[in-house]
Copies of this chain bind each other. A is one copy, B any other.
Amino acid sequence: MTEKDPDGLVRLRNALRQFAAERDWDQFHSPKNLASALAVEAAELLERFQWLTEEQSRNLPSAELEKVRQEMADVLNYLVRLADKLGVDLLDAARDKIALNAQKYPVERSRGSARKYCD
C-alpha cells in the first residue's frame, strides 16, 4: 500500500475512493460504519462454509468457489476503505503483527498445538 507497490493495494484504494466519491457515499463511510460492514461481509463469507465439513471446505465446487471469492473481495474492499479513512498502511501493519506473533508464539513452544488459539 505504498508507492513502491504501484499496481497493488494503492491502486485498489484509489479505485474504491473514486467509486465512493462518484456516488457521494463518503458520508456513510465513517470508520465505525466501515468496521460494521467489514464484520458483516466476513460473516457472509463464513456463511458459505458453516455447514460444510473441513474436508468439504478444501474442495469447493467451482461455482461455490466463485461465490466465496466474491465475498473475500468484499472483505478486502471494506478493509482497504477503512485503512484509507484511518491512514493505516495495511502491509506495514500486517508485517508488524507477524513480528509480534512470532514473539508471542515461539516456534518451539507452539509446534502442532492449537492451545495458542484458546488461551
Contact = CB atoms under 8 A, between A and B. Distances in A.
Interface of A: 1-10, 12-13, 15-16, 19, 22-25, 27-28, 30-33, 35-58, 60, 64-65, 68-70, 72-77, 79-80, 82-83, 85-86, 88-98, 100-102, 105, 107, 110-112, 114, 117-118
Given A35-B46, A43-B43, A70-B96, 16 more contacts: A1-B10, A2-B89, A6-B6, A8-B91, A9-B91, A15-B95, A23-B107, A31-B54, A35-B48, A36-B46, A40-B43, A60-B86, A69-B86, A73-B90, A74-B97, A79-B79
Count identical subunits in the complex. 4
What is the interface of chain A mostly: helix, strand, loop, or mixed? helix
